[in-house]
Amino acid sequence: MRLATLAATSLLVLPLAACTEPAPTPAPLARSLASVLPAPARVTPSGVRFELTEASGIAAEGDALPVAELLAATLRPATGFRLPVAATGDVALRLDTSIAGEAYRLDVGEDRVDLTAGTPAGLNNGVQTLRQLLPAAIDAGTVQQAAWIIPGGRIDDEPRYAYRGAMLDLARHFHTPDEVKRYIDQISRFKINYLHLHLADDQGWRIQIDSWPELTAVSGAPGTGVDGAGGGYLTKAAYRDLVTYAADRYITVIPEVDMPGHVNAAQVAYPELTCDGVAPRQRTDTAVGYSSLCAGKEITYRFAEDVIRELAAMTPGPYLHIGGDEARATPHADYVTFQKRVMPLARKYGKIPIGWQEIAAAEPEGAIVQYWNHTEPLTTNQRVIVSPASQAYLDMQYDRQTPAGGMNWAGTTEVDDAYDWNPGARLKTVPPELIFGVEAPLWSETLRDSADIEFLAFPRLVAIAELGWSPWSTHDWESFRQRIGAYGPQWTRLGVRFYESPKIPWGH
C-alpha cells in the first residue's frame, strides 16, 4: 500500500516530457523501520513518511552541534541539499538529560524528525540509524535523483552492552592510517564504540616509543610482518590523529602491546629483553607461543613501564590492553609475577588494564578480562569482554572453500555461526552482570589490504555488533539475514568488499 503511494508520488513530480519517453528508473523506495542494523530495542512504525527536501535544515545547539554537522556532512553529497545547521530546522537533534548514556529516541513524523539523546554519543547512535532509514543512494559521493523518504514512526533504542568492540591487528601486517580510517568509517555505522589496536607481536612493532627507539626502527621497518610483507608503524602523531578520527565518530581507541609473550619483535630490537641476552632471529612466520620477556630481569619492568607510560600519555581513552595471551614460553610462576607487577603500571598511569583471559590466573583486581579461547573455561570475578575465537574471530574462514584469506584453527565460521550465540549466556562460570560487552577481533596474518579486511569483517562484524547492541529479545537469525541482505547494495555502492554468503538473500 505504502509502496504504491510512493510510486504514484514519484510519477507526479516527473517533468511532462517524461510521459512520451521510456519510463525512467523508479526512484529507490524508502527503507522500513524494521531494516535497521543492529536491531533497535523498540520500533513503532506509524505509516506516515517524512521527506528530506531542498528546504530541509538541521536544528541543533550546544553539544549537539558536532553531531548535527556530522549528519549534514553525510547527507549533503548525495542529496545535493544545503542542509544548514542552525537553531531551527525540520530535522532536530536535541540533548535531554532524562535519557541515559548511549540511548536515543527517534521520532519521524510527516513534517519533522526529532532525534533526542542524553549525550552526543547517543545522538550519534540515532544518526547512524537515520542513515540506514534513507534510501541506499544516500551513500553516493555525488548528487543522486531520489526521493529522500524516511519511514515514519518511533524508535526507542539503547545498547545491551556498554562495550562493543572491533580489533585490528597491525603487527602481523601493518595497515596504514588510511586503511584503519576506512575500517573506522564502516564499523561506526553499526554502533561499534571501541577500536582495539593490536600494535606489537612477534613479527612487528607498530607504535613509536621514544624511550626505546629501536622498536620501530628495527621491527617496524620494511620486511617485517608475516612473510615480510607488512612493514610500517604509527608515529605518535599518526596514532594521535587516528585516535581523534575515531573519537570524532564516537569510537574510543584501546592500544595493545602484548606481554610477556608475543615479544619476538621487541627482542630482535633489544636483545637484552631476552633471558640470555642473545638476539633472536627476526620472524615472519605465523607460529605463536615461543617468545617471552624475562620475569627475573629488572630491565623487563623498565621496558614495560616505559611502554605503558608512553602509550598512556598518547591515549585519552580509559583502557590499555596489555595482552597476556599464549605465553607458553613463560613459566607459570613467572607469568603471575610479571602480571602482578605490570598490571598495576597501567593504573599508575591512569588507565584500566585489559588482558586476554590468561591474566585471570594473576588475580587481576580491577582489570578487564578478554575471553577468547573457546576450548578453555574462564573463571573470574572481574568484568569480561566476550570474544570466543570460534564465533567472534573475524579471521576465521567462512568455509573451507572461501578464497585465500583467513585461518581455521578455531573452525570455520559462517555468518549464522557468528550470529547465533548469546554473549550473556556464553560463559557458564561468569555471571551475566560481569559481561562488559563483546568484541570481534581481526588478526592479520593473512591480510594485506582493505579488501582483505573487509571480506573477512563483513557481514560478520555486523553480527557481533548486533549481539553487543540489541536486546536478546530481538535476536532472530531470519530477520538478521533479511536485513543484511538488504544492506548488501550499500556496501557495493561504497566499494566495500564483503562475503556474499549463500546463507543471505542478497538484495541485488
Task: Check binding of 452 to ligand TNX (CB under 6 A).
Answer: no
Q: Given the complex with ligand TNX, which of 238 and 407 has the nearer CB atom?
A: 407
Cα–Cα distance measured from residue 166 to residue 193, given in angstroms and rounded to the nearest whole number: 8
Q: How many residues does the chain have?
A: 508
Tell me the one-letter amino acid at 257.
V
356 binds ligand TNX (CB under 6 A): yes
Active site residue 326: yes
| Cβ closest to ligand TNX, residue 16 vs residue 404 | 404
The 3-state secondary structure of 297-323, one letter per residue:
CHHHHHHHHHHHHHHHHCCCCCEEECC
256 near ligand TNX (CB under 6 A): no
Q: Which three cell numbers stand for residue 455?
A: 571480506
Task: Answer yes or no: are the C-beta atoms of 315 and 250 closer than 8 Å.
Answer: no
Q: How far is the CB of 172 from ligand TNX (least distance, A)?
A: 6
Rounded least distance, CB 52 to ligand TNX, Å: 43
Residue 260: cis peptide before it, omega within 30 degrees of 0: yes
Beta strands across the sheet bearing 91-95: 42-52, 148-157, 104-108, 113-117, 91-95, 58-59, 85-86
Closer Cβ to ligand TNX, 128 or 370, answer by number: 370
Q: Which three cell numbers stand for residue 86?
A: 542552525
Candidates 288, 352, 361, 434; binder of ligand TNX (CB under 6 A) is 288
Does residue 239 belong to the site contacting ligand TNX (CB under 6 A)?
A: no
Query: Is 434 an interacting residue with respect to ligand TNX (CB under 6 A)?
Result: no
The residue assigned the cell 624511550 is 211
With respect to ligand TNX, which residue has the nearer C-beta, 139 or 256? 256
Q: Cell 562493543 sits at which residue?
A: 164
Chosen residue from 407, 471, 476, 493 binding ligand TNX by CB under 6 A: 407
Pick 102 or 445: Cβ nearer ligand TNX: 445
What is the Cα–Cα distance from 441 to 198, expressed in whole angstroms?
9
Interface with ligand TNX in residues 51-80 (CB under 6 A): none
**Cα gap 304→94, rounded to integer Å:** 45
Query: In this chain, which stretch among 135-143, 213-221, 248-256, 389-397 interacts with ligand TNX, using CB under 6 A?
Result: 389-397
Of the candidates 326, 439, 445, 454, the residue annotated as catalytic is 326
174 touches ligand TNX by CB under 6 A: no
Three-state SS for 74-86 is HHHHHHCCCCCEE
Contact between 439 and ligand TNX by CB under 6 A: the answer reads no
Query: Which of 395, 439, 454, 466 is the binder for ligand TNX (CB under 6 A)?
Result: 395
- CB of 285 vs ligand TNX, minimal distance in Å: 12
CB nearer ligand TNX, residue 443 or residue 499: 443
Minimum distance between the CB of residue 364 and ligand TNX, rounded to whole angstroms?
15
- Are 416 and 485 in contact by the 8 Å Cβ rule? The answer is no
CA atoms within 13 A on the CB side of 203: 27
CB of 181 closer than 8 Å to CB of 81: no
Interface positions, 294-333, toward ligand TNX (CB under 6 A): 325-326
Dist CA 323 CA 470 (whole Å) = 28
Question: So which residues are the catalytic ones?
Answer: 326
What residues make contact with ligand TNX under the rule CB under 6 A? 288, 325-326, 356, 372, 389, 393, 395, 407, 443, 445
